[in-house]
Amino acid sequence: MKNILAPSILSADFKVLGEQVKTCAENGAEYLHFDVMDGMFVSNISFGIPVLASIKGAADIVMDVHLMIEEPIRYVEAFHKAGADILNVHYEACEDVQATLDAIHKCGMKAGLTIKPATPVEVLKPYLDQAELFLIMSVEPGKGGQSFIPESLDKIRELRGLLNEKGLTADVEVDGGIHLGNAKEVLESGANVLVAGSAVFKDNIAENVKGFMEILNENE
């Protein structure tokens, strides 16, 4: 299974966002993680559809859109039109999880299903063959710069084990507190998509991405 870096633009410099996205892609990042917050499901507000539409095409990179919003089914079509390739929704935010995943697929996007740190992996069991990606939050969603929750490693192992039992090859993505010092351990636990914000966008972006790519490539 291919290992993938998904830089989170929550930590980017929006004055030069297009340039930074291009730098990430040129140095090996294949996904761009786009965190949308509504001030209701999480306490913060970030950015949304106009920003996604404006950077789509800035680089050859997959737009991995993470909706931290209530009832995301309301905006599935709009995010598709704005350029989302993967639409990632929270289990906890959907009144009807299956209907939301179906709506994402109907628009031709890949579907992702996310759980917060306090939500057990077992809630994902009915949907293991209904999504192309599952995201384990390794911090509380809503803000960047938090420390990785160690117990997340057990959840990653459990999820990958459940997928393997069913012969499924969905991506396991991890978001929160990922840096060069713990990336290998997260991969060894069963993840293959790493979201990193400040660890990518602080200081030298090109060198940071290259550092992650070295670890990702060595652990495939």
Catalytic residue positions?
Answer: 35, 175
By the 8 A CB rule, do 210 and 21 touch?
A: no
The response to whether 108 counts as a known ligand-binding position is no
Nearest of 120, 192, 195, 180 to residue 151 by alpha carbon: 120
54 annotated as belonging to a binding site for a ligand: no
Torsion angle of C-alpha atoms 51, 52, 55, 57, degrees rounded to 10: -160
The reply to whether 96 sits in an annotated binding site is no
Q: Confirm if 174 and 194 have CB atoms less than 8 A apart.
A: yes
**Residue of 61, 70, 130, 123 whose CA lies nearest to 95:** 70
- Residue 60 assigned as binding residue: no
Question: In this structure, which amino acid lies at residue 172?
Answer: V
33 assigned ligand-binding residue? yes
Q: 210, 205, 143: which is closest to 176 by C-alpha?
A: 143
How many angstroms separate the CA atoms of 122 and 159, rounded? Answer: 8
46 marked among binding-site residues:
no
* Residue 177, annotated as binding a ligand: yes
Inter-residue contact 5 to 26 (CB < 8 Å): no
43 annotated to a ligand binding site = no
* Closest-CA residue to 86 (of 38, 30, 45, 169): 30
Q: Are 149 and 138 within 8 A, CB to CB?
A: yes
- 171 annotated to a ligand binding site: no
**Which residue has 């969603």 as its token pair?**
141
State phi, psi for 165 to the nearest 5 degrees. -60, -35
Q: Residues annotated in the binding site for substrate, as ranges?
A: 8, 66, 175-177, 197-198
Q: Residues annotated in the binding site, as ranges?
A: 8, 33, 35, 66, 175-177, 197-198
Q: Residues annotated in the binding site for a divalent metal cation, as ranges?
A: 33, 35, 66, 175
